[in-house]
């Protein structure tokens, strides 16, 4: 039987889907599992997946894998399931349950093979301990460069960098269209390159985006900051998850539908009197030091 898992959304969601794939394999051990995603590289060398395709990247897909064959299509959106909208369970569990897949606590995974390891070792000849940070997420070329609902506030980033810059080479995972910070080295690399650097790092500070999922797959405890999303839905217990402080201002939620806040950080929804109300930087620095 062919099982086809179609995934919309960003890289982090595809990393979470590696756990769903493992659960599918446990429920259907003899199936052929095909994944359609915007990030097929996430499933490279994952033995629960037979093949991963980019959306629109496989010609005659229907004829090859569906027509006249026994198959199951898992293409529904877990973000629109009641349990997810109400924050009652982790997205991985919701994703499995909506497709009648038994979930037994399967976790995200990644496989960096020996040739990849050697390539990135040679590419990054770093003789100083590494600290790696991911401060911003979301799609490309956003009008608002800082989403208060997801991204790390500038004062947190700047104070953390100032505290650690002399002891560590601070690698900043970001795209060209995202905000740069002094005393950091920007990292624009493929999925496995970022994973290699996370694996080699001594300290890690992330938001709820792809790097925190990769770190979990690599069993690298990290400090993760949360503003509107919650770790019980999107996070991992291996990390030290720090949730933003209680809101200090009534937000304008006139556009809210299936989520309280727009993850893009709608300006009129901002629920704080002052940005510094959001996080205690000393708590964050203490958490990083404990890694």
Q: Which residues of the chain have pLDDT under 70?
A: none
Cα–Cα separations (whole angstroms), residue 182 to 157, 186, 279: 10, 10, 21
C-alpha 168/C-alpha 134 separation (Å) is: 15
Closest CA to 57 of 40, 33, 32: 40
Tell me the pLDDT tens digit for each residue of 171-183. Answer: 999 999 999 999 9
C-alpha 173/C-alpha 188 separation (Å) is: 7
Give the pLDDT of residue 244.
98
Count of CA atoms in the C-beta half-sphere (13 A) of 91: 21
C-alpha 150/C-alpha 225 separation (Å) is: 9
H helices of 30-185, where? 61-65, 82-85, 91-98, 114-123, 154-164
Closest CA to 175 of 185, 183, 186: 186
Tell me the pLDDT tens digit for each residue of 107-158. Answer: 999 999 999 999 999 999 999 999 999 999 988 877 788 999 999 999 999 9
Q: Is the dihedral of CA 206, 210, 213, 218 positive or negative?
A: negative
What global pTM score does this model have? Answer: 0.96
- Identify the CATH homologous superfamily for domain 114-289: Glycogen Phosphorylase B; (3.40.50.2000)
How large is the C-alpha radius of gyration of the chain?
A: 20
- Domain segments of the chain as ranges: 2-98, 114-289
C-alpha 124/C-alpha 106 separation (Å) is: 32
- Supply 95's token pair: 């994703």
Which residue(s) pair with 6 in the sheet? 36
């Amino acid at each position: 039987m062919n099982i086809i898992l179609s995934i919309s959304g960003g890289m982090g969601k595809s990393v979470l889907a590696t756990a769903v794939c493992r659960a599918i394999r446990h429920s259907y051990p003899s199936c052929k599992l095909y994944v359609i995603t915007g990030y097929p590289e996430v499933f490279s060398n994952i033995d629960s997946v037979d093949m991963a395709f980019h959306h629109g990247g496989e010609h005659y897909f229907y004829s090859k894998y569906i027509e006249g064959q026994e198959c199951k299509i898992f293409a529904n959106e877990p973000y629109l399931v009641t349990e997810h909208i109400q924050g009652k369970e982790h997205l991985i569990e919701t994703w499995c349950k909506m497709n009648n897949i038994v979930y037994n606590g399967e976790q995200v995974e990644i496989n960096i093979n020996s040739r990849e390891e050697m390539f990135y070792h040679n590419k990054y000849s770093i003789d100083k301990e590494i600290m790696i940070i991911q401060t911003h997420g979301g799609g490309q070329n956003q009008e608002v460069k800082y989403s208060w609902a997801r991204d790390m506030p500038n004062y947190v980033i700047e104070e953390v960098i100032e505290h650690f810059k002399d002891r560590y080479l601070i690698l900043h995972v970001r795209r060209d269209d995202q905000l740069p910070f002094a005393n950091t080295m920007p990292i624009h690399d493929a999925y496995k390159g970022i994973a290699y650097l996370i694996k080699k790092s001594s300290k890690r500070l992330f938001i709820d985006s792809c790097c925190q999922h990769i770190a979990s797959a690599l069993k690298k405890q990290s400090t993760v900051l949360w503003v509107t999303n919650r770790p019980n839905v999107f996070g991992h217990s291996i990390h030290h998850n720090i949730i933003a402080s209680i809101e200090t201002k009534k937000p304008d939620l006139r556009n809210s539908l299936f989520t309280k806040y727009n993850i893009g950080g709608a300006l009129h929804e901002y629920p704080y009197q002052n940005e510094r109300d959001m996080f205690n930087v000393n708590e964050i620095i203490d958490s990083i030091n404990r890694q």
